[in-house]
A and B are shown apart, each in its own frame.
Chain A
Amino acid sequence: MPDRAPPVPAHPAPSPGESLVIAVVDPSRARAAILEEGLRAVEGARVVVIPDTADLLDRLSALSPDVVVIHLESPSRDLLEQMFGVSRLVERPVAMFVDRSDAPMMQAAVDAGISAYIVDGLRAERIKPIIEIAILRFNAFARLQRELSEARSELADRKLIERAKGILMSAKGLTEDEAYKQLRRKAMNEKRKIVDIARAIVTAADLLG
């Protein structure tokens, strides 16, 4: 924070190679694990995952980390702002994000859903890789999640089409191939997706059956 009052004597920033404690706070355990694994690559870093629960404050106080990486959607962010904030009671003033002049990185971090709190005086070259790794890992997690949900819905669609085919086959005495062709023709004529036609058939069969 460029224009803030000079802080109370902070801990000396660790030099490269010296141990650096990074706390990861995330309501999602899976995402926290992915991030933790990535951050282990940071030289001299000790990474500790802290669950985003009611005793967060006590656990963070006990750990006294140099960097806290926290998901942007965590309601606990305000708690960190007080803990590391501007109060006279604080021993280790913490700035938010990296270098405030690095606007693109700040934007990328927010887009990825990350915020980080960093002890004042920690050098930019120590912080940058941490934030970069966090951004990459968060984005990778989001992509995985999207792929997983797409795969799930694709599977559900396929099951629905199978059921609709089965219904047509037994109701109209069709082969599997003929049943599928009928579904496809209907979908084309009505400019709808095959899965929508299949859903209508299954729903109707459930009601009538």
Chain B
Amino acid sequence: MRLQLGYVPLTDAAVLIAAVERGFTAAEGLEVDLVAEPSWATLRDHLALGLLDGAHMLAPLALACHLGLSGPQARLIAPAALARNGNAVTLSLPLWQALDAASDALPEVARALARVAEARLAEGRPLTLATVHPYSSHTYQWRRLLALGGSSLSAVRLVVVPPPRTVAALERGQIDGVCVGAPWSTVAVEAGVGRIAALGSAIAPDCPEKVLALPAEMEDRAAPLLRALRRAARWCGDAENREDLAALLGSPRHLGLDPALILRGLAGSLRLAPGGPLVEADDYLVLGERELTPDPAGIAWLVDEMTAAGQIEEGAAPAQAVGLYRPDLLAAA
């Protein structure tokens, strides 16, 4: 069987990339073309219109597409999650200094951020904060972080910046902060333009992140791909393979970045501030066989967050939302 699988070049596409590039899909008799997509919107359209047979996708975007809220409507299924956590909130150095947080602890950072956000709103120049797509856990992590400190999304200007442009946007002062997936926070810190202020794993631990999204018609044909993903996830979760994986992801045909920076996220060893020490963050980004099973509770979380962000009306989530996650297909594969 020949499959076209889309992804956006990010560390958490690792399991999908490794499944193809380390021979796990070929071992299942699959011929896979990996297609790097320039934006989540393009990936969604290609998947919804049948130009892709499956994709590495933001879980909220998969749900929004499934419900007809974003792009061409398509019935999708998500039989596997691809990673656990992986995002971080990175602030520009001027904003981090303005925060003057009492400590690095999440409640302190949230309080300080909310205080600055409200002050800037009152001055008529609200903070500009970046996410990666309206339907993303990144958007919801911003909302939760601001809420934790006593503010809200309506106090800031929320914009989308494609991850590869976030470093330049921070540097030029076009954005004051970004919530973005690995490895882009590390890239910003290394470029000396950002300070990691909070990890996604602390703001919303183990919330739905990327899933493998398939058209619903693929249900009966998904087993070989799911078996390949399970073996790839096991391979990615083995610490011995980390350097090989970082080199694979860093290669020009995928992320085109220094593997050493990708390795930090994979190893859970992050530099939070330019020139600062490496800090252990085991849960920052977790890959492995156990992480593959999508937790059905994630759907309720997504619906709550979409409602809180004003993307769907209170109590308006259609019943078909629960049909997106299909852990049964993974278990049966």
| Distance between Cα atoms of A79 and B160 in the complex (Å) | 5
Report whether A78 and B154 are in contact in the complex, using a CB–CB cutoff of 8 Å.
no
Contact mask for chain A residues 54-92; partner B; CB cutoff 8 A; 1 contact, 0 none: 110100000000000000111111111111011111000
Selected from A1, A83, A97, A110, the residue in CB contact (under 8 A) with B160 is A83
| A208 nearest CB across to chain B (Å) | 35
Report whether B68 and A2 are in contact in the complex, using a CB–CB cutoff of 8 Å.
yes
Report whether A81 and B168 are in contact in the complex, using a CB–CB cutoff of 8 Å.
no
A100 within 8 A of B: yes
105-125 of chain A: CB within 8 A of chain B: 106-107, 110, 115
Report whether B39 and A75 are in contact in the complex, using a CB–CB cutoff of 8 Å.
yes
| Distance between Cα atoms of A105 and B2 in the complex (Å) | 27
Chain B hits for A72, CB < 8 A? 42, 45
Given A54-B168, A86-B311, A110-B49, are A74 and B38 neighbors across the interface (CB < 8 Å)?
yes
> Which secondary structure dominates chain B's binding surface?
loop
Contact mask for chain A residues 114-141; partner B; CB cutoff 8 A; 1 contact, 0 none: 0100000000000000000000000000
B252 within 8 A of A: no
Closest B residue to A86 by beta carbon equals B311
Report whether A57 and B72 are in contact in the complex, using a CB–CB cutoff of 8 Å.
no
Report whether A54 and B174 are in contact in the complex, using a CB–CB cutoff of 8 Å.
yes
| B98 nearest CB across to chain A (Å) | 22
A4 within 8 A of B: yes
For chains A and B in complex, what number of residue pairs have CB atoms within 8 angstroms?
Answer: 92
B162 within 8 A of A: yes
Selected from A79, A80, A88, A100, the residue in CB contact (under 8 A) with B161 is A79
| Distance between Cα atoms of A4 and B51 in the complex (Å) | 25
Chain A hits for B68, CB < 8 A? 1-3
Given A5-B312, A5-B316, are A82 and B131 neighbors across the interface (CB < 8 Å)?
yes
B69 within 8 A of A: yes
Report whether A107 and B49 are in contact in the complex, using a CB–CB cutoff of 8 Å.
yes
B169 within 8 A of A: yes
A187 within 8 A of B: no
| A177 nearest CB across to chain B (Å) | 47
| A107 nearest CB across to chain B (Å) | 6
| B184 nearest CB across to chain A (Å) | 13
Given A5-B316, A78-B132, are A100 and B72 neighbors across the interface (CB < 8 Å)?
yes
A42 within 8 A of B: no
User: Residues of A at under 8 Å CB distance from B?
Assistant: 1-5, 54-55, 57, 72-83, 85-89, 96-97, 100, 106-107, 110, 115
Chain A hits for B72, CB < 8 A? 96-97, 100, 106
Report whether B134 and A75 are in contact in the complex, using a CB–CB cutoff of 8 Å.
no
Chain B hits for A100, CB < 8 A? 72-73
Given A78-B160, A115-B41, are A85 and B49 neighbors across the interface (CB < 8 Å)?
no
Report whether B71 and A96 are in contact in the complex, using a CB–CB cutoff of 8 Å.
yes
Report whether B49 and A82 are in contact in the complex, using a CB–CB cutoff of 8 Å.
no
Q: 8 closest Cβ contacts across the A-B interface? A: A82-B160, A75-B162, A77-B41, A88-B310, A77-B39, A85-B134, A79-B160, A78-B39
B22 within 8 A of A: no
Chain A hits for B313, CB < 8 A? 5
Report whether B165 and A110 are in contact in the complex, using a CB–CB cutoff of 8 Å.
no
Report whether B39 and A82 are in contact in the complex, using a CB–CB cutoff of 8 Å.
no
A-B contacts, 6 of them at CB < 8 A, read: A54-B174, A73-B42, A78-B162, A86-B134, A87-B311, A100-B73
B242 within 8 A of A: no
B172 within 8 A of A: yes
- Apart from A73-B38, A77-B38, 17 more pairs, CB < 8 Å: A1-B69, A2-B68, A5-B313, A5-B316, A77-B39, A77-B42, A78-B40, A78-B41, A78-B132, A79-B160, A81-B41, A82-B131, A83-B159, A86-B310, A87-B134, A110-B45, A110-B46
| Distance between Cα atoms of A77 and B43 in the complex (Å) | 11
Report whether A75 and B165 are in contact in the complex, using a CB–CB cutoff of 8 Å.
yes
Closest A residue to B131 by beta carbon equals A82
